[in-house]
Structure 1
């Protein structure tokens, strides 16, 4: 095997390995958190939550505004309410709340 062909083969293998890593990084992931509601915007389906650290997705303790999916009712969600929530990390890197409840097992 020539040196040129060996280098091309090595470059091809590296590209294949890297493209697989990038592809798997784009898949949706989930994280769970808890915190206190700071504001609710039902018109835009957004909620701001002062939440705990979620190091598995790189979020530190902070207040964040999240999109809320249509299957999560916002009635019963108000400023100051303690909530437990599940985030989906979309392929575009944005976070969205896919589950939320007050810990009573009754939902929101």
Structure 2
């Protein structure tokens, strides 16, 4: 099985297809700024679950974020858990600046 992941900026999501088919097997919704990409929601169609579609979405989008110099905000529970299991991506995570008390 071959999974292809493509960024679809007009719909603000990464989409995964399988074996050259046109139907979308899964997607990750995001919001992007010049410095940050926030992953909001990931969904894989039930018939494609357990086949690595979510991992392909995460790996491809995070590799592209790294290449673009973006920080990552993983508000999507899938992304947060995936990054926790793949610490080589932890350096991408956005860290809020601490406020200085008066």
Scaled to the shorter chain, the TM-score interval is under 0.3
Structure 2 length-normalised TM: 0.25
Q: Which has the higher helix share?
A: 2
Structure with max Cα Rg = 1
Which structure has more RCO (C-alpha within 8 Å, separation ≥ 6)? 1
The two structures have a TM-score, normalised by structure 1, of 0.25
Which has a greater percent of strand? 1
